[in-house]
Structures are given as C-alpha cells and as structure tokens.
Copies of this chain bind each other. A is one copy, B any other.
C-alpha cells in the first residue's frame, strides 16, 4: 500500500557518506568494474568494511553474499535514495569572487545541480554574465526561484549579508541552503542548511598541528621509554 515512502530514516552520518560511495562506484563503473565487495569499497573510501555494509543496508539488501555488490545497480539505488534521479537547479546569491568561481566551476551543472540563476545586490554586477548566466538583482530572487522551480540556494556573500539573504531565499520558497558565508544563519524549522567555512577548517587543522607540536615538545623532556 505504501510503496517505498515508509523507508526507514537513514542516519545523518550515513547520508553524508553515501555521496562518497556514489562517486567511487561511478568511477569504478566507468573503469569497467561491474562488481565490488564492501571491503574494496571501504578501501577506496578510507573506512572499514563493516561500516560500509551497515550504511548500504539502510538502502535495502542489495548485495549478494559471497560475491559483493553489483556496481551499476548500487549506483542506481544510491542515486535514487539521494534524490539524484532528476536535476536540482540552484540559485547563487552573490556574484563576487566566490560566486563567480562557483558559477564557473564545472562541478555544479555536471553533477545534477545546474546554476538556475545568480543574483546580487550590487547594481554594477546586475546584467553581467557570470558562467553563462545573467546576474539579476536580489530583489528578483523570488521570481527567479519560482520560475525555475528552484529549491536550493547557495549563499556566497560576505558574512554580514548572509542572514538577510537567507531570509530572502526562504521567503522566496527555497528549502535548502548551502552557506559559504562565515556566519551561522538562523532558519525556520524544516529548512536544511549546510555550511562550508574555510576559516573553520583551517582552524581545526591548526588545533591538531598545535597539539602535535606540544606533544613533541613534551616528548623531548619525557623519560625515555616511558611512553
């Protein structure tokens, strides 16, 4: 009676790994590999086989014992689960350095996320072409979103503008946001947000670097063999 809709919810950690499996499997398939075991896949993904199997088991029982998984079929299943059976056009807000780099970067359209629009508040940028798309004014974002059926917005503005832009996007009907601005944004319940923040990543690395450095310093003074 309910087809596939009452699919058990997939843990967030697993959802974050599925795209990795998908990429590996797609590449392997292109290289002519038709079958893979959880262990092979785990090696490529830098994980252990048990985790891979558990992750895949949330999709259903698509493996064959003693054999492994059929690559092509698994690609199909992951794509379906991730909702990649159709394109998701995105709107980019901010036509500065980052916005231009994102629009120009192939990785968007290639992978099912074509740039459906670019908007900016800066009148001097409105009307120009970025990555083959004409920049429109932020005020028109609702029209852009609705005319293209866009549900994903990419925020590529300075931090100070991010919250305002997020509000505008949500008001326009966008339900998922990818935020490159170095600011935490608040959104209504039911809206998804992912954040990409260069400074945060570097600072995390800094922490472990610093820690390594002090561990080393400590070792220099440690009793030999104490461990």
Other-chain contact of A88, B19, B83, B202 (Cβ < 8 Å): B202
Q: Contact size class for A?
A: 35 or more
Contact with B along A188-206 (1 / 0, CB 8 A): 0010101011111111111
* Chain-B contact segment, one of A62-70, A104-112, A140-148: A104-112
| B203 near A178: Cβ-Cβ < 8 Å | no
A198 to B, closest residue via Cβ: B107
Copies of this protein in the assembly total 2
Q: Which of A175-227 contact B (CB under 8 A)?
A: 175-178, 182-186, 190, 192, 194, 196-215, 217-218
**Contact residues of A with B, CB < 8 Å?**
2, 5-6, 10, 15-16, 18-20, 22-24, 44-46, 81-84, 88, 90, 97-98, 100-102, 104-105, 107-108, 111-113, 151-152, 175-178, 182-186, 190, 192, 194, 196-215, 217-218
